[in-house]
Structures are given as C-alpha cells and as structure tokens.
Amino acid sequence: MSWQETATAGGAQAEVDSTRWRQLAVVMAGAFLILLDSTIVNVAVPSIQLDLHAANSAVEWVVTGYALAYGVLLIPGGRLGDRFGYKNLFVISVVGFTVASALCGTAQSVGQLIAWQCVLGAMAGLMNPQILAVIQTAFPWQERGRAYAVYGAVSGFATAVAPLLAGALIQWNVGDLKWRPVFLINVPIGIVTIALALKIMKAAKGRGGSLDPLGIVFVAGTVFLVGFPLIQGQSSNWPTWIFIMLAAAAPMLVLFVLWQAYRGRRGQEPLINIKLFRNRAFSAGVGIGFTYFAGFISLWFIMSVYLQNGLQRSALTAGFILLPFAIGTLIGSIFSDKLNAKMGRWVMALGLGLVIVGLIGVLVTAYTPGSDMSGYEAMPWLFVAGIGSGLVIAPNVDVVMSGVGWADAGSAAGVLNVAQRLGSALGIALAGVAFFGVLKGSALDSAQEAAPRLRSELTATQMMGSSQDVDAGVQRFVTCYDKRAHSKDPSKPAPGCPNGAAPDAVGAAFTRAIDRTTRIDFTHALRAGTGVSLGLVAVAFLLVFVLPGRRPEQEWGEGSGDWSGEGSSGDWSGEGSSGDWSGSGGDSWNGAAGTSESGHGEWGHGSAEDADANKSDSADQ
C-alpha cells in the first residue's frame, strides 16, 4: 500500500466535520498575522530607529525580542493547547496578539516597543502550534494534504509579500504615522479573526494531565541558550560568551530528555512524547524542516541585505524583486497535494531540487560584474525557487504529522515549529558569517576594482591638478574604503578619512566610486552567503532519502483521540477545550534585513498514538 492509500477494513470511519474548511480559513488568518509580523517589522527598522532616536543595539532588540519570545513558547504553547484546548489557546493568543499590536503601534519609546514586541512574540508562540493541531484534528487524512497545501501557500505568500506591504505603508506614510501602520494593520485582522474563531471553531483537545512545569523550564532554557546567541552573535562579533551559551544548551537538552523519560516511566504526562522520535518519518521530517528553513530563510535574509544595503534599493523595490518567490510558492503549494498523492516523498525531492536550481541561478547571476547588477536579474530564479518551496513546505509537515496521534498534535506541532525557528536562526548565523566576513575581506579588492574608473573620472574633471594628485586621491579612496569596512561602526567614516563628498565634479566622482565599490563588495558577499544557503538546502535534499517509502497504514478513525466526546483526548464533543531575525540598521554597511517565518504542511492522516511508536517505527522500516 502506498503513502496515499489507506486501509479501510476493520471499522467505520468517523463522521467528517462539516465546518472543517471554515475552521481552516479562521486559523489561516492567524497564520497570516504571525507570518506578516515576523517579516514586515524588519523593513520598518530604519524608520523606527529614526523616529524613536534609537541606538543600533536597542533597535536590534525590536526584532530579537519578538524572535526569542516566539521560539521559547512554541513547545509549551503546543502542550497548553493539548491540555486546555486548541480553540481556547488560539482565541487567547489572537486576543493577546491584537492588543500587543495596538500597543506596539502606539509606543512612545524604543523601550516600550521592545517590551510589546516580546509580548507579541509570546502570543505568536502560543498561537502557531494550535494552527497545525486544528488541521490535524479537524480533517480526515485524505484531505489533510489539501489543507496543508493552503497553509503552505499562505505561509510563503505572507512571508514574501510582507516586505512589499511594509515598504508601501512606510512610503505612503498614512496619516503621518510613519512606521506605526506596520503594527496597526494587525488590529482589524485580529478582531475579525477573534469573532470568527468564537463562532466557527469547535472545541478539541489532546492529552490531559499536568503541564510539566519543570519540563517547560528545561525546553525553554534549551531554546533560549541556542536561539539567543545565534541571534546576537553577528552583531556582537561572536564573543566568547556566545559559544559558552551554545555549549550550555547541550546539557540542558540532556536534562530535558532524561526528565521526560522519567515522567514517562512514572506514568505521568510528559511535555513531549519522546517516543515520537522513534518514528523515522517524524524524525527525518523534523530534520528536513530544520535544514530547509536554515537554507531558504538565510537566502531571504542575505538577498534583503544585498538589495537594500548593497544596491541601495528602497524597501518597496526590494519587496517587488522578491515577489516572484511568493508567486512561485503559491503556485507550488496549489499543486503540492496532487503531486504528493502521486509521488509521495519524492515530491519533496522535486521541490528541493527546484530550490537548488533557483539558488544556483542566483549564484550564477551574482557573478555578473558587481557594478552592473540591478537585482532584477535574480527574479526568474527566485520564481523557480519559490515553486520548489511550495512543493516542500506542505508535504514536509504532512510527513511529520502523519505519524502523530491527536493526543500529541499540539506538542508535535511545537517541536516542528521550534526546529524551523532554530534552523532559521542557524542558517542566518552561518550565512551571515560568510556574507559579512566576505564583505570585510573583499573590501580592499572591491575598491581596487573600482579604482581605474575613478582615476579616469577624476582626470576628466581637470580639477585635481597633476596625475600624481589624482593617484593620491584614488589611493586614499581605496585605503579609506577598506578601513571603513573593518571599523566597528562602518556607518561612520574611518579616522583620518573624509566625511562626505564635496558638492562639485570631484565629489560626484568619489560618490559614484563609493556606490560602485559597494555594489561590487556586496556582490562578492552575496556569492558567499548564497553558497552557504545552497549547502543547507542540499542537506535537506539528502534527508528525503532517509524518509520511509511507505506511510503508516491506519485509518483516520483510529488514533488516540475520538470524536464521540468520550475519548480521553482529541475530543470534539464541545465539552471543554482542548532571522531575524535580526533586521536592524539602515545604512549600506551593516544593516540587516528581513527574515521570514515558517510554513508548514502535513503528509496526511491521523495515526495511532505511539501505540504505537513501536508499531509505526516497524512500519517505517
């Protein structure tokens, strides 16, 4: 029996819920809010910094605070949904998200904005696992592929459209509010989502039992010890304490696993069912989510930096150049369910292959002479990569969740979301090291590459005196550009170097030389960063071959939860309830740019709880 088939003998299938597609529309509105806010704020950072007179280190925390709070609460949020109900947690988190958005939009200082961004991230962390859990419980396995295709389309589209929308809102300066509409736009969407959720969504929940507060501390500590140093490493120039924190994450993770095993032996409900990792599809699928998001989010990051800071494109123009990726993702997601039904796991191999082709295309494009790059050359390749992304996101989550019973839907979704978030952080860190390292290392060569044209233009002005004076001016330009690239604050002139250019032909020639050298230098950096992203996506491609070739042969009606209202979990009776990423800076030297958020999908049907993991594990083999 193939991955897309199911055994029908041995029991009647449970009644399909008639409101499932309306429920999907509601949770998709929540997903759109999360993904929109995760990316849109990065584009607004320069405007925020200028309006609130914020230092670089402070404005970085506008993005960092959101990312950390979001990542830390994903797994606890999933367990809370299992315990208290997916609908309840979804509504509570959307209410909190809406209120926090309004407070961010009215913040009077950068400190207030950071505080409310942390709250906003926490609400996103609580909300996201409920979205996957609702799809897992509301849809029969035959339809889950389509549901996750919709989710994948929304994820990719919102992630890519956000920079375009942010650029438009800031450029239009609605009501002279500057950056504030970037947050305030969430308020009407949130209000409508709350109203529809209360009216349409049904109560459902997973495992009962205690919340395992010590387990929450261990897992939150692990995520923090990994996420914080990866977020802060680049801007802090990778000091020793970064690596100490990363090293401390390992024993914290070991403590968490041992604690979960101890609770399991005592018959207590764990925060995460560790037996899920015995399922090869679940483990490999989480690994694919980790490495793929590391690859494509890091590309998104470096492309945003390159377009806005290297090529000096506006946020609106940068968003337009990146738009083909969103369109491609939408198209790929539309076809992902049908292709998944025919190809099984190989649809992800096809999708990742297309992403690799797109990245190679961007890499080849980057070898166009730096001074001639416009950014538009990458658009066809971003479209190809977007189609591939649409064929990866939904089927990957389908793979992960196909071996998860209803009782563990929330916590399993939290695990996948955390893997995607940490993967994004790692990818941005690795690509950032390569990108910014080459940006410094190639500054001298880039300036020397631009020097002959500068010499010709200075000579043509006939205002520099002798040829020796021209040569001296060119040499000073090359030296100052290199010194500035290696300074602690590249946004300021290096000591002994001029601050700005004279308002004459000579000054104009130097200004053009700076722009030309910056383009060349950033193009060298783009090549290095794209190479890292390509390697990470290639690892995800190889992990597809670890996946089992067959799916668990179980009915939708089987599993740990039930629809009768009498099961211990998965109950629909209505009784009870269930970069970043860094993106700061606004100059052409050290500004960071947008990141994106996760997209998910699933392979398709409810399986028995790990009654089991052993059974599904043997099926995997």
Identity of the amino acid at 574:
G
Average pLDDT, integer, range 276-304: 89
- What is the per-residue pLDDT across 562-595, written as a single tens digit (0 to 9) for each? 333 333 333 333 333 333 333 333 333 333 333 3
Confidence of residue 373 (pLDDT cuts 50, 70, 90): confident
Q: Can you list the alpha helix ranges (DSSP code H) found in 173-239?
A: 181-184, 186-200, 213-232
Given a contact cutoff of 8 angstroms between Cβ atoms, the answer to whether 26 and 196 are in contact is yes
Residue 467: other Cβ atoms inside 10 A: 11
Where is average pLDDT lowest: 13-22, 282-291, 302-311, 483-492?
13-22
Average pLDDT, integer, range 284-310: 89
Identity of the amino acid at 344:
G
Q: What pLDDT was estimated at residue 599?
A: 36
Give whole-number Cα distances, 375 to 5, 514, 527, in Å: 45, 18, 13
Specify whether 421 is located in the same domain as 458: no
Specify whether 507 is located in the same domain as 556: no
Q: Does residue 169 lie within any of the structural domains? A: yes
Specify whether 456 is located in the same domain as 602: no
Q: Does residue 239 lie within any of the structural domains? A: no
Instruction: Give the residue with greater pLDDT, 11 vs 21.
Output: 21
Specify whether 37 is located in the same domain as 81: yes
Specify whether 133 is located in the same domain as 41: yes
| pLDDT of 609 strictly over 60 | no
Average pLDDT, integer, range 524-534: 93
Specify whether 509 is located in the same domain as 379: no
Specify whether 598 is located in the same domain as 555: yes
Residue 612 has what DSSP assignment?
B
Give whole-number Cα distances, 573 to 548, 569, 570, 605, in Å: 35, 11, 9, 21
| pLDDT of 502 strictly over 60 | yes
User: Residue 194, CB half-sphere, CA atoms under 13 Å: how many?
Assistant: 15
Which residue bears the tokens 């995760």?
38
Confidence of residue 478 (pLDDT cuts 50, 70, 90): very high
Q: Does residue 479 lie within any of the structural domains? A: yes
Q: What pLDDT was estimated at residue 207?
A: 67
| pLDDT of 601 strictly over 50 | no
Where is average pLDDT lowest: 121-135, 263-277, 324-338?
263-277
**Whole-prediction pTM:** 0.76
**Which among 603, 620, 600 is positioned nearest to 612, based on CA atoms?**
620
Residue 9: other Cβ atoms inside 10 A: 5
Structure tokens at 105: 């939009």
Residue 171: other Cβ atoms inside 10 A: 13
Please identify, among 519, 548, 564, the residue that sits at the C-terminal boundary of a domain. 519
Average pLDDT, integer, range 434-461: 90
Specify whether 459 is located in the same domain as 423: no
Average pLDDT, integer, range 148-169: 81
| pLDDT of 604 strictly over 60 | no
Average pLDDT, integer, range 260-265: 86
Specify whether 390 is located in the same domain as 512: no
Average pLDDT, integer, range 494-502: 73
Specify whether 355 is located in the same domain as 479: no
Q: What pLDDT was estimated at residue 370?
A: 53
Q: Does residue 53 lie within any of the structural domains? A: yes
Please identify, among 461, 485, 519, the residue that sits at the C-terminal boundary of a domain. 519
Report residue 403: phi and psi, to 5°. Answer: -100, 20
Q: Which domain holds residue 503?
A: 443-519
Report residue 612: phi and psi, to 5°. Answer: 160, 180
Q: How many domains is the chain built from?
A: 2
Separation CA 115–CA 66 (nearest Å): 9
Where is average pLDDT lowest: 2-6, 94-98, 453-457?
2-6
Q: Does residue 573 lie within any of the structural domains? A: yes
Specify whether 378 is located in the same domain as 462: no
CATH number (domain holding residue 392): 1.20.1250.20
Separation CA 385–CA 396 (nearest Å): 16
Confidence of residue 394 (pLDDT cuts 50, 70, 90): confident
Specify whether 563 is located in the same domain as 605: yes
- What is the per-residue pLDDT across 65-101, written as a single tens digit (0 to 9) for each? 888 888 888 888 888 888 888 999 999 999 999 999 9
Instruction: Give the length of the chain.
Output: 621
Confidence of residue 209 (pLDDT cuts 50, 70, 90): low
**Which among 442, 439, 477 is positioned nearest to 457, based on CA atoms?**
477
Residue 127 has what DSSP assignment?
H
Please identify, among 519, 549, 582, the residue that sits at the C-terminal boundary of a domain. 519
Mean predicted lDDT score pLDDT of the chain: 80
Separation CA 184–CA 70 (nearest Å): 19
Q: What pLDDT was estimated at residue 6?
A: 33
For residue 384, the surrounding DSSP H or E stretch is: helix 379-402
Q: Does residue 241 lie within any of the structural domains? A: no
What is the percentage of the chain residues whose pLDDT exceeds 90? 31
Q: Does residue 120 lie within any of the structural domains? A: yes
Q: Does residue 141 lie within any of the structural domains? A: yes
Q: What pLDDT was estimated at residue 463?
A: 79
